[in-house]
A and B are shown apart, each in its own frame.
Chain A
C-alpha cells in the first residue's frame, strides 16, 4: 500500500519534471528574445494615462479591453453593453474578429496592426492605445487574454498594460513578448474615423473602412477615406470610396469632386467615369454626364455591362 503510494508520488514528480522540462526547452528554443525597444525617433517613455480603466469581471477581458479602447476613442459604452456583442458564453471568451465587428457597429475604425513590436511602439508614440491578445499560459495550456497596452519604458525595457483587474500592470518586455508571441502578435487600434494609424498600410486600411461602409456608417467612412486620400493621394480605392461615401450622405458636389479627381489620376479607370457620370446626371448636367458615361463604356473592363446600363439610363432621362 505504502509502496504503491510512493510509486504514485514518484510518477507524479517525474511527470511534473517532464512537463517543466518540456516547457523550458520549448521556450529556450525561441530565445534569445529580441530586445529592440529602440526605434529612431521613438521617445524613451510613453504612458497614455488618459486611457480609462474597466476592471475585468469573470472571463470578460474582451469586453473590458474593448470598452477601454472605445471610450478612449470617444464612444460611450461599457463592458456590460459589449458583452452581448462579443462574448461567447460556451467558450468563456471573445474571438478577435468579433472585437472588430463590435468596433465598427459603433462607427469606429478598428485596424489590426502588422505583427511585431515596432507597430505597437509607433502607435503608442502616436498616442493610440493598443488592444493586444496574449497567451499568458503555455502552448499546451493556453490562457488567452486581452489587455490594453498604454505605454512603454525603453530604459527599463517595460510595457505598461491595463490588464484584468490591474489598472497598471507593468511587465518586462521579455515576458510580454513571450506571452504576446504565443498569440501571434495580435494587436488592434480603435480610432475615431479620420484618425490614421501611423503604421497603416493602404490595402488593409481600405478593407477596414469598407466594413464601416457595409454597416451604413457613411459619415464615418467619408472621414476615414478622406484621411486615406491625404496619406495615399494616388489610391483609386480611397478616392472612389470617398466619392461613394459622400454621395451616400447626399453631398453630390463633394462626390463629383472626388470622382473627377479619380478620372484625372486614373484616366483609364472606367469606374471613375461611370460614377462621375451618374453624379453629374443626378445634378442635371446631362451633357457632361453623357460624355463621362461614353468614356466609361469606351474604356470597358469587367464592369462594362454596368457602364452600358448607366449610359442607357442617362440617355433615356436626358431625352425626356
Chain B
C-alpha cells in the first residue's frame, strides 16, 4: 500500500475506534447534523429562486422565523449568502454566486 493509502486506512481505523468509544454522543451529533443539512438544502432551494427576507424564507420552508434567521447567520458567516437590499423593515438575502444552484 502507498503511504497515502496507509494514512487513509489509519484514519478509518481511528474514527471507527473513537465512534465505538462515544457512540451516544456521535449518534446524537450525527442526527442533529443530518437534520440541519436537510433544512439547509431547503433554504438554499428557496434562495436559489431569488432574494428573500427571513419571514418569507421561514414561511416557504415551514420553519420558525428565529430558526431561519439562525441559518441565515450561519450561511452569512461562512460566505454562502449576502444581504441584497431591504424589503420594508426586513433585509433581503441572496446566495453568493458560488452557492446559487448548489444542493
Chain A complexes with chain B:
no
Contact surface of A with B, Cβ cutoff 8 Å: none
Contact surface of B with A, Cβ cutoff 8 Å: none
